[in-house]
Structure 1
Amino acid sequence: MLGKTLTAVALLAGNAAAKIFYAGVAESGGEFGVYSPTAEVGFGLPGTFGVDYKFIDEAGIDVYVDQNKVNLFRVAFLLERLCPLETGLGATFSETHFSEIEDAVNYITVTKGAYCILDPHNYMRYNDPSQQPMTGSIIGDTSDPTAATTEQFGAFWGELAKRFVDNEKVIFGLMNEVCHPIVYISWQIC
């Protein structure tokens, strides 16, 4: 009995001494402004920065870092803003929207010295975020002729990674809330 008690105390003491390296907050906003009650494709796209969506709140970041010692921020965005429907998913970006994301990333990582997770908030879908997660074609669904391919998805990530290759504080979240069985097949193909 004494041995079990000492083991339990040792385990608790070990856990109490553990250091938490990452403490984070999700900065939602870059994925907003596109909901359509009538499922109107393209509704709210691209949207107006600072009105329909915003990637981060700098004052909020300041409070989290300076007062609460938070050092990790998830920055969510829509693929359709970075890769407009006119050009499709891939390595061709809207430079306007990329610049807005880059400004957010640089504020978090360079100005504040924290880490940033870039996270497309698309549920593994592309081309119609009007009523996510139920609208839009599933990336990699070969039975859907309007779906983006896994190659296009790979090209997107290749381009984004290339643009942030020199920033060691950028972390990539491949996709927010993948929520369809066919996606697991897509991931195996990638």
Structure 2
Amino acid sequence: MHSTLLSLAAIAGTVTAFPAQPEQRAAAAGVQFVGVNVAGFDFGCSIQGACDLTKIVPPIQGAALGSADGAGQMQHFVKDDGMNIFRLPVGWQYLVNNKVGGTLDSNNFQKYDQLVQSCLKTGAYCMLDVHNYARWNGQIIGQGGPSNSQFTNLWSQLASKYGSSEKVIFGIMNEPHDVPDIDKWADTVQEAVTAIRAVAKSNMIALPGNDWTSAQAMPTKSGPALLKVKNPDGSTDNLIIDVHKYLDSDNSGTHTECVTDNISSAFQPLATWLKQNNRKALLSETGGGNTDSCKKYLCQQLDFINKNSDVFLGYIGWSAGSFQANTYELSEVPTKNGNSWADSSLVKACLVRKSS
């Protein structure tokens, strides 16, 4: 989301919850993937790609910096709600301990790997997400900031660690924005794909565009450039268009009320474009407050995506993980009582796949 830099401040926010309205529940999922983000390793990362490592709150029990039960959350979402994908945001600086172009830091990576392994143990697909907005400390990758080779070195290492698991999805970059040259950015994405494919031959790779990976902007702005990105063999197999879309008044994902279902403005045009180009997309971030308006509009949006599962692989809500369930504005954090978990009202209304 656009306001990840405010993660710690957002924990102290307020949210108004309303009873779930059964008639607002999204239709039975026709898409392959439904899940949530499990945030925490991205806390402290700003939209300028600067990450304050003291603000990280790992969603792993017993961690030195936090004790959110990310493993338990994911187990619940799979067992009780029928979910089958989780996106695991992490700051680039955290993975390499602030050394651009460096090797994975053994201590930090071991903690992140705990979350990845907990995800894989559920049987779900696990999407790695470098949450840096196409930047390192304010400088754009391949366009005045870190070189493409420094960035692809990171992905070579991650692909070497996880390429043997077909259920790991490589999310190249979270929400690039204000990137001056989309063609140069597509070149950066291409180099990342080539580096990943050197060791991970068939895993899904999510390709991010500019404009915060906006689903609305993709067909006309970033999409034409990203269509040029190919596997080394010239195919586009398992190269997925990565998109985000929120439903509040300014598409920032910072308000508890929703005002649109995004269908006519974003997802219908995107579906048409995907069909025309024989491509598929994954909505890896979407969500809203636990409010009546968001239950209404999010369920409508997801119904449309389900009905167009020929081009949409699925959707991943924002967010569970280390946020506080009762105070974060867009909380999808389940709460535990004894041996059972209770979902947020928005998750109950629109994201749960199993009937209770």
The normalised TM-score by structure 2 is 0.39
Task: Provide the C-alpha distance between the structure 2 equivalents of 1:19 and 1:141, rounded to a whole number of angstroms.
Answer: 40
Q: Secondary structure at the match of 2:40?
A: strand
| Pick aligned residue for 1:21 from 4, 29, 32 | 32
Give the aligned partner of residue 164 of structure 1: 162
Give the aligned partner of residue 141 of structure 1: 143
Give the aligned partner of residue 187 of structure 1: 186
Structure whose CA Rg is larger: 1
Q: Secondary structure at the match of 1:182?
A: coil
Give the aligned partner of residue 114 of structure 1: 124
Task: Provide the C-alpha distance between the structure 2 equivalents of 1:29 and 1:18, rounded to a whole number of angstroms.
Answer: 27
Task: Provide the C-alpha distance between the structure 2 equivalents of 1:55 and 1:150, rounded to a whole number of angstroms.
Answer: 34
Given the superposition, is the C-alpha separation of residues 164 and 183 from structure 1 closer, same or farther in structure 2, using an over 3 Å criterion?
A: farther
Task: Provide the C-alpha distance between the structure 2 equivalents of 1:52 and 1:174, rounded to a whole number of angstroms.
Answer: 26
Moved more, 94-103 or 42-51: 42-51
Q: Tell me, yes or no, if the aligned pair for 1:140 and 1:149 is still in contact at 8 Å.
A: yes
Q: Is 1:82 matched with 2:92?
A: no
Per-residue CA distance 1:142-188 (angstroms, 9 max, x = gap):
3xxxx211111111111110111211110000001010223622332
Within 5 Å, give how 1:57-68 maps onto structure 2: 57-68=70-81
Per-residue CA distance 1:30-61 (angstroms, 9 max, x = gap):
100456xxx9x764448575465679712211
Identity of aligned residues (%): 29
The answer for unaligned runs of 5 or more in structure 2 is 1-26, 192-356
Task: Provide the C-alpha distance between the structure 1 equivalents of 2:79 and 2:57, rounded to a whole number of angstroms.
Answer: 30
Q: Secondary structure at the match of 1:88?
A: coil
Letter in 1 for 2:174: N
Per-residue CA distance 1:121-153 (angstroms, 9 max, x = gap):
110111x3xxxxxxx2111123xxxx2111111
Task: Provide the C-alpha distance between the structure 2 equivalents of 1:119 and 1:42, rounded to a whole number of angstroms.
Answer: 14
Q: Tell me, yes or no, if the aligned pair for 1:122 and 1:176 is still in contact at 8 Å.
A: yes
Task: Provide the C-alpha distance between the structure 2 equivalents of 1:100 and 1:62, rounded to a whole number of angstroms.
Answer: 18
Q: CA deviation at 1:17?
A: 9.3
Given the superposition, is the C-alpha separation of residues 138 and 156 from structure 1 closer, same or farther in structure 2, using an over 3 Å criterion?
A: same
| Pick aligned residue for 2:105 from 80, 94, 114 | 94
Letter in 2 for 1:99: Q
Q: Is 1:103 matched with 2:103?
A: no
The answer for unaligned runs of 5 or more in structure 1 is 1-15, 129-135
